């Protein structure tokens, strides 16, 4: 039990009544870390599971070892192109910890167990015989005809990272460009890592953004899930290209001085049993909570049991894998609010006790503390971002101070506030005192990423700010010589909202790709309901590039805004000082 007063409690008197709860939270973390260090040597070594599980070449034994954790399975057999899919020719053996293993000698399989060949593992369990994809697989591909997914052996030449000495700097003003590789091109189709590196990175750099937050990197079977229903945690999505293509993108971003953040999904996983890890060993509770606790009712997905040692190894190893193998500079953790509570953040938190006692998922909180400890011990300059709207105390405080260890939280209330204003109030009814209050509603020591809108507001069924402001008039009156009051008002408010947000809302800023120039319409991925069309899952860069259209003015404003703020290190300064507030004239100084 900790005997010192934690800094988190000292700096926030409101937390004094919860001092014991916060100390117990820290003690849980210390107990788990002590267990890991005693049994595995260190947290860093514990997170090397990706080098132990899955398929790895053993130089000493001269062959490949495949290991899989499947405690409830009856038998496992590795099969694939290398043995002509002979189902039972490569059986695995099981140890007392539920870990299965098989060794394939290079002299026997060297000519067939080769780069690019397909593999699966046949699992014999209470659910019968089922072909599965290894949990730690690093490459998954989909058959163009059958649409079935398979693991793929991936033994490329070592990627040349020479010269990649870039390190992100949390202390600098952080301007984040939220992006999706597949929909980043203008064509009606799926974009690639290489196209993004060639066509989009130069735009991002020129516009003044110094970080990209990449969505949908982890493999996911359904493109329309926006990458949030992950099936294969260690495999970069093959629909965008190869792992080496992604590494090329990251290296090029670093050469431009752009940090690369991965939108990582550890809050849940897809239910699919063919592509994912659900029911891998035949049980419903291998990686997950048993019964209804292991089901996410809103997302139709499975929830991890963060109390299990092998689940911690899997997820923490996944973090280290992306940092070491791909040089990612940080993580945006999706669904943190869902992870921390058994009610998944769907209940109102209206008193202090609900942060520490009622419905709190302590194992998930301990996992997040371990994750942030690992991230910052692996790379002290790394960036860790939490998606949470609950206001969990200590979310962005260092773990050793009693917090969860994130560097930033997303200011998720700001976009909702702007939408409410636009939907419910006339322009002249906007309350500038309320605007000031909402944008400044955060504690000084809680670093916040502010944004006026993200991908969430751009999805079909919702509207971007530009489309809320100008709607159908954008189809007819965006020529620069076409005067239109609706367009002029919309563009003015679009600029003002973004300036107000970036000036007051936090210590970092985020924008979703295309919104900086008022990209029209919405995002709608190919699906049966739209005849599998890509029309609304792309970015029309030609709109902002066209000197005859007004989109150029919104793009130019965004670029100038970032230039001024970056030059003066505005975001990393303290809260803005209010000099004058004039409600009648709607001015703030």
Q: Which residues of 215-249 are buried (b: 16+ CB within 10 A; e: fewer)?
A: bbbbbbbebbbbbbbbbbbbbbbbbbbbbbbbbbb
Q: Is 178 an annotated catalytic residue?
A: no
Query: Where do runs of H (alpha helix) occur along 305-448?
Result: 309-326, 336-340, 362-378, 413-424, 432-439
Pick the closest to residue 269 from 296, 298, 236 (CA basis): 296
- Among candidate residues 334, 516, 524, 558, the one labeled active-site is 334
Q: Which residues of 265-287 are buried (b: 16+ CB within 10 A; e: fewer)?
A: bbbbbbbbeebbbbbbbbbbbbb
List 177's β-bridge partners, or say none. Answer: 212, 511
Q: Give the Å distances, CA to CA, from 147 to 150, 231, 236, 280.
A: 10, 15, 18, 20
Q: Is 334 an annotated catalytic residue?
A: yes
CA–CA distance, 366 with 497 (Å, rounded to integer)? 38
Compute φ and ψ for 43, nearest 5 degrees.
-65, -40
Residue pair 259/210 in contact (Cβ under 8 Å)? The answer is yes
| DSSP run (H or E) holding 108 | helix 106-109
Render 70-81 in DSSP notation, one character per residue. -TT-SEEEEEEG
Residue pair 252/197 in contact (Cβ under 8 Å)? The answer is yes
CA–CA distance, 315 with 234 (Å, rounded to integer)? 10
Q: Tell me the torsion sign for CA atoms 398, 400, 401, 403.
A: positive
- Among candidate residues 275, 387, 453, 524, the one labeled active-site is 387
Residue pair 114/155 in contact (Cβ under 8 Å)? The answer is yes
Which residues are part of the catalytic machinery? 334, 387
């Amino acid at each position: 039990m900790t005997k010192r007063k934690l800094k988190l409690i000292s700096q926030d008197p409101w937390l004094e009544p919860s001092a014991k709860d916060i100390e117990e939270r820290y003690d849980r973390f210390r107990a788990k870390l002590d267990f890991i260090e005693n049994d595995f040597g260190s947290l860093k070594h514990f997170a090397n599971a990706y080098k132990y599980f899955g398929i790895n070449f053993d130089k000493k034994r001269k062959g490949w070892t495949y290991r899989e954790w499947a405690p409830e399975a009856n038998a496992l057999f590795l099969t694939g192109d290398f043995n002509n899919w002979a189902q039972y020719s490569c059986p695995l053996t099981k140890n007392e910890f539920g870990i299965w293993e098989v060794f394939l000698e290079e002299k026997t399989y060297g000519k067939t167990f080769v780069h690019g060949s397909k593999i699966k593992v046949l699992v014999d369990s209470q659910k019968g015989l089922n072909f599965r994809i290894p949990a730690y697989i690093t490459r998954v591909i989909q058959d163009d005809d059958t649409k079935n997914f398979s693991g793929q052996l991936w033994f490329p030449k070592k990627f040349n990272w020479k010269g990649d000495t870039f390190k992100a700097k949390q202390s600098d003003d952080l301007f984040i460009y939220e992006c999706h590789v597949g929909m980043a091109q203008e064509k009606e189709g799926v974009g690639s890592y290489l196209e993004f590196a060639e066509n989009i990175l130069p735009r991002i750099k020129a516009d003044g953004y110094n970080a990209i937050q990449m969505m949908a990197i982890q493999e996911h079977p359904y493109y329309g899930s926006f990458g949030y229903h992950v099936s294969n945690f260690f495999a970069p999505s093959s629909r965008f290209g190869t792992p080496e293509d992604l590494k090329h993108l990251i290296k090029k971003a670093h050469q431009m001085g752009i940090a690369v953040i991965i939108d990582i999904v550890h809050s849940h996983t897809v239910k699919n049993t063919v592509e994912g890890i659900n029911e891998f060993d035949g049980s419903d509770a291998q990686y997950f909570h048993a019964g209804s606790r292991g089901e996410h009712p809103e997302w139709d997905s499975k929830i991890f049991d963060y109390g299990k040692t092998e689940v911690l190894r899997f997820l923490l190893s996944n973090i280290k894998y992306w940092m070491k193998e791909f040089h990612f500079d940080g993580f945006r953790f999706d669904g943190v609010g869902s992870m921390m509570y058994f009610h998944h953040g769907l209940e109102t938190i209206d008193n202090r006790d609900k942060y520490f006692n009622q419905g709190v998922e302590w194992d998930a909180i301990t996992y997040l503390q371990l994750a942030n400890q690992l991230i910052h011990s692996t790379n002290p300059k790394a960036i860790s971002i939490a998606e949470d709207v609950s206001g969990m105390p200590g979310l962005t405080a260092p773990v050793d101070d009693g917090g969860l260890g994130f560097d930033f939280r997303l200011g998720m209330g700001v976009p909702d506030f702007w939408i409410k204003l636009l939907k419910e109030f006339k322009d002249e009814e906007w309350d500038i005192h309320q605007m000031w209050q909402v944008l400044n509603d955060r504690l000084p020591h809680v670093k916040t990423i502010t944004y006026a809108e993200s991908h969430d507001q751009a999805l079909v069924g919702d509207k971007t700010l530009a489309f809320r402001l100008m709607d159908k008039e954008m189809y007819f009156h965006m020529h620069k010589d076409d005067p239109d009051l609706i367009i002029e008002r919309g563009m003015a408010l679009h600029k003002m909202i973004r300036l107000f947000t970036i000036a007051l809302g936090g210590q970092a800023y985020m924008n979703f790709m295309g919104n900086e120039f008022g990209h029209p319409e919405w995002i709608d991925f190919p699906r049966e309901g739209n005849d599998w069309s890509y029309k609304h899952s792309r970015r029309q860069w030609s709109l902002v590039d066209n000197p005859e259209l007004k989109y150029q003015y919104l793009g130019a404003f965004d670029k100038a805004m970032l230039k001024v703020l970056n030059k003066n290190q505005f975001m990393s300064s303290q809260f803005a000082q209010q000099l004058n507030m004039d409600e009648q004239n709607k001015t703030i100084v």
